[in-house]
Structure 1
Amino acid sequence: MTTPPATPHRRPAWAGRNYTLLTTAAVVTGLGNSGALIAAAFAVLDAGGDGTDVGLVAAARTAPLVLFLLIGGAVADRLPRHRVMVAANTLNCLSQATFAALVLSGDAALWQMAVLAGVGGTGQAFFAPAAEGMVLSSVTGEQASRAFAFFRMGVNGANIGGAALGGALIAAVGPGWVLAIDAAAFAFAGALRAFLDVSHTPARAPGGGLLRELAEGWREVAGRPWLWSIVGQFAVVNAVVAAAESVYGPQVAEDHLGGARPWGVALAAFGAGTLGGGLLMTRWRPRRMLLVGTVCVFPLALPSAALAVPLPMAGLASVMFLCGVTVEVFGVCWMMTLHQEIPEDKFSRVSAYDWFGSVAMLPVATALAGPTERLVGRSTALWGCSALVLLLTAVVLLVPDVRRLRRRTDAPRPAAATPAGSTPVSATPVAGPTGGPSGGQVTARGPQSTGGDPGLGQGG
């Protein structure tokens, strides 16, 4: 009897139910969020506000994110993570729906928009630590790198497309309807995440109180030199890159490049680079993940230098594209390292410290960018941003664990970290028979390099 031909899979074998639900939800909220960020700014301006008011609403969104991130990490390690994600999506849905209703009614006041932005930031603070690692836990170790790269490509593509679509919709129907679409996106994403199958997740032992759990998370960070050094590095790198690109970049474009259009082209080139980097990481699985990722941080010094010169639009766009590629390589390498090295029951708390380090200095850097420019000049300030990126990245490469840690695929996730100052056993592997490590398994993030923008996003 002839065997019927096999039905081709519509998706890769490793892209199971949980992976598909998580990726679809992240793409949907990425589309909604990107447009909503633009809509919120235009809503403030349409209500009679100015640039300062737009900044105040953005700050109102960032402040609770910084304040509640660590608590969000502890909660996500205490409760089922998918429930925390659904609760955060519900909160964001309600806040955006209320924001949209006020804007559509024409009665939105600045204080109301600031409060609702703060509610959105609170949702992000609880969502982000819970979401970290969920995608990687939904695929096998052998395919984890490729799966995460595809996930990030989907989210980055959604962010790019959402910004373009949001801008067009704001022009056509106004910011209120774009905010309403974002609320609907959160509702849909929350519904998808409610159907995640978490039966494979090990039961967690009862905690010993919030402060004790936060202390345990800190010990995990402090006991791993590679972890705290990179988190510290990105606390500064994210801050200076954000200052250069959000404050100095538009000014340089206005004074030397011809206005907003070339700056928009440069930012679009960065987005295209992230897609290219994601495509690269679907094929490339570097063994020394942290070493490769850290080397890929060096190009983040180039945009500030290009603005300091300044380069013409074509040169600036090329630099931004390269940065997008390398940021994506770092992002995949970093998340793979965290997933390999951090115990599952402490993952959200460690992720919360990672997020906290990544966003804590953003408001300070953007606030000081103007005074620094007046004090030393814009060009000097931009060269200083580049120098800080290069210096801190070179210092991180001096950490032995960063250079030695290798990818593993055949061992369970590790136990808790060793005391601070000692070297984790898994970070200095002994070469096995094939040249790889012989046993044991293993977030600073690049600027906007993850699925949710920590500075402005509502929580994906």
Structure 2
Amino acid sequence: MLRDRRFALLLAARTISVLGTSFAPVALAFGVLGLPGADGRTLSAVLTAEALPMVLFMLVGGVIADRLPRHRVMTAGESINALAYFCLAAMMLTGWTPLPALVIASAVSGIATAILFPALTGIIPDVVPADRLQTANALLGLGQNISRVAGLVLSGAAVVLLGAGWALAVSGAMFATAGALITLLRLTPAERTSAGGHSVLADLRAGWREFVSRQWLWVVVAQFSILVMALQAAHGVLGPLVAKESLGGAPAWSAVLAGEAVGMIVGVVVTLRLRPRRPILIGTLVTLPTALPYLLLGMSAPLWTVVGGAFVMGVCFDIFGVLWQTTMQREIPAESLSRVSSYDALGSLMFGPLGLLLAGPAAIAVGPRPALVACGTIIVLVTLAALLAPGVRGLRVPDEEPASVATVS
């Protein structure tokens, strides 16, 4: 697969883009928290400004990706993200950091993600044969996770040695490079299915019918709508607050994020070999341990145990992600895949801004550690609820795609 020029370009672009993304959370979080008078509420406002437009524009991004060449849509998303992060970097470097300007730049980044994400999900079957989808998703995950490890480790050092502004500038440069590589990924018209000729609302209705007709799909999306709310609060605001107050600041939080990223690399190795008969059941089960780092952090466990919990979370999330993407790409028609993916992303992320918005006040009202325990508990309960659905437990790989390497019943 690596000898295939188009897949190699896609792999390189995604690896570089995620390297840029890995600089962003640490740099932005500690850059904002380091501003005069800033606190958890300030960080909540900036992160919410990024997350809310991402949710609001996700359906539009799905329609665009099903109508236009997906490589061009991805190029636009990467380029807009580069512009947003260059602006954030310039503000941090010059010291001109009014909250409205930070909010606007973050909102532009959220719109860019809404444009990019549905196109990314839909472009993989355009580039890769159907029988290689899980391998392709795993290889893309491997490149992305290696970038996460490198980016998160380097970002902590960059924030300490150079400052948040330069780390954000590196992110912008990475997004621009990824956009340039995607420009070279040209798909022939026969390999793209256009949704042209219909209204946007008609396209959205057709995508909605595909979405709600599959119980496994909408149940897991409903699960993740609550799970991501808790995760956004814990990962975006509460975790960095605890790290700053009692664990040593940016280097400690970078270690936690790096532990997660290393776990995701291990998860890729597992998914290269794992071929479960019931992929959604296995994928949902492995989301249970993702609560571990938040529970440990909330109970004042030593840093090394929190890093270990983040490692377990990374393994589990990557197994889920590869199984989920492969199942969607196999079960959903290619002409609707980006729109269904946008409903998936919209449903999964729609309460994320609420989690970010409430995290700052919750940290002030009850303290960040009790709030982290609450986040972990929510993750466990909502996952157990999803496992009650017959569609989640019963979806099986078709007989024509036998689980020939390692079968899990």
Q: TM-score range by the shorter chain?
A: 0.7 to 0.9
Match of 2:55 among 50, 54, 66: 66
Structure 1 counterpart of 2:394, one-letter code: R
Structure 2: how far apart are the matches of 1:281 and 1:403?
19
Alignment-derived partner of residue 220 in structure 2: 230
Structure 2: how far apart are the matches of 1:232 and 1:189?
32
1:254-277 CA-to-partner distances (Å, cap 9, x unmatched) read 777677665543333222111111
Taking only the aligned residue pairs, the percentage that are identical comes to: 38
1:86-144 CA-to-partner distances (Å, cap 9, x unmatched) read 12222223333344445445545443332222212111111111111323442233332
Q: Secondary structure at the match of 1:334?
A: helix
Contact 2:158–2:167 at 8 Å: present in 1 too? yes
Contact 1:221–1:227 at 8 Å: present in 2 too? yes
Query: How far did 1:171 drift?
Result: 4.1
Alignment-derived partner of residue 415 in structure 1: none
**Alpha-carbon spacing, 1:284–1:356, altered in 2? closer, same or farther (3 Å):** same
Structure 2: how far apart are the matches of 1:110 and 1:250?
19
**Alpha-carbon spacing, 1:279–1:176, altered in 2? closer, same or farther (3 Å):** same
Query: How far did 1:377 drift?
Result: 7.3
Structure 2: how far apart are the matches of 1:313 and 1:98?
34
Match of 2:11 among 16, 19, 23: 23
TM-score normalized by structure 2? 0.86
Q: Secondary structure at the match of 1:135?
A: helix
Query: How far did 1:409 drift?
Result: 8.1
Aligned residues: 402
1:175-194 CA-to-partner distances (Å, cap 9, x unmatched) read 44433333332222112111
1:46-445 equivalences under 5 Å are: 48=36, 50-51=38-39, 52-199=41-188, 200-250=190-240, 263-369=253-359, 381-408=371-398, 410=400
**Alpha-carbon spacing, 1:54–1:315, altered in 2? closer, same or farther (3 Å):** closer
Structure 2: how far apart are the matches of 1:91 and 1:141?
31
Structure 1 counterpart of 2:344, one-letter code: D
Contact 1:146–1:283 at 8 Å: present in 2 too? no
Q: Secondary structure at the match of 2:109?
A: helix
Contact 1:73–1:351 at 8 Å: present in 2 too? yes
Structure 2 counterpart of 1:313, one-letter code: L
1:310-350 CA-to-partner distances (Å, cap 9, x unmatched) read 43334333322222111111111100110011111111111
Structure 1: how far apart are the matches of 2:172 and 2:359?
33
Alignment-derived partner of residue 450 in structure 1: none
Structure 1: how far apart are the matches of 2:184 and 2:192?
18
Q: Which has the larger radius of gyration?
A: 1
Structure 2 counterpart of 1:333, one-letter code: L
Structure 2: how far apart are the matches of 1:341 and 1:323?
27
Structure 1 counterpart of 2:346, one-letter code: F
Contact 1:207–1:213 at 8 Å: present in 2 too? no
Contact 2:263–2:315 at 8 Å: present in 1 too? yes
**Alpha-carbon spacing, 1:280–1:333, altered in 2? closer, same or farther (3 Å):** same
Structure 2 counterpart of 1:367, one-letter code: L
Q: Please provide the CA RMSD for this pair.
A: 3.1
Contact 1:290–1:333 at 8 Å: present in 2 too? yes
Structure 1 counterpart of 2:281, one-letter code: L
Contact 1:132–1:348 at 8 Å: present in 2 too? yes
Structure 2 counterpart of 1:166, one-letter code: S
Query: How far did 1:248 drift?
Result: 4.2
Alignment-derived partner of residue 35 in structure 1: 23
**Alpha-carbon spacing, 1:54–1:260, altered in 2? closer, same or farther (3 Å):** closer
**Alpha-carbon spacing, 1:73–1:384, altered in 2? closer, same or farther (3 Å):** same
Structure 1: how far apart are the matches of 2:4 and 2:70?
18
Contact 1:38–1:167 at 8 Å: present in 2 too? yes
Structure 2 counterpart of 1:70, one-letter code: L
Gaps of 5+ in 2: none
Structure 2: how far apart are the matches of 1:255 and 1:110?
23
Contact 1:88–1:127 at 8 Å: present in 2 too? yes
Alignment-derived partner of residue 422 in structure 1: none
1:133-162 CA-to-partner distances (Å, cap 9, x unmatched) read 323442233332122112112112212212
Q: Secondary structure at the match of 1:134?
A: helix
Structure 2 counterpart of 1:161, one-letter code: A
**Alpha-carbon spacing, 1:45–1:177, altered in 2? closer, same or farther (3 Å):** same
**Alpha-carbon spacing, 1:112–1:241, altered in 2? closer, same or farther (3 Å):** closer
Structure 1: how far apart are the matches of 2:99 and 2:375?
33
Structure 2: how far apart are the matches of 1:256 and 1:410?
54
Structure 1: how far apart are the matches of 2:213 and 2:166?
48
Q: Secondary structure at the match of 2:187?
A: coil
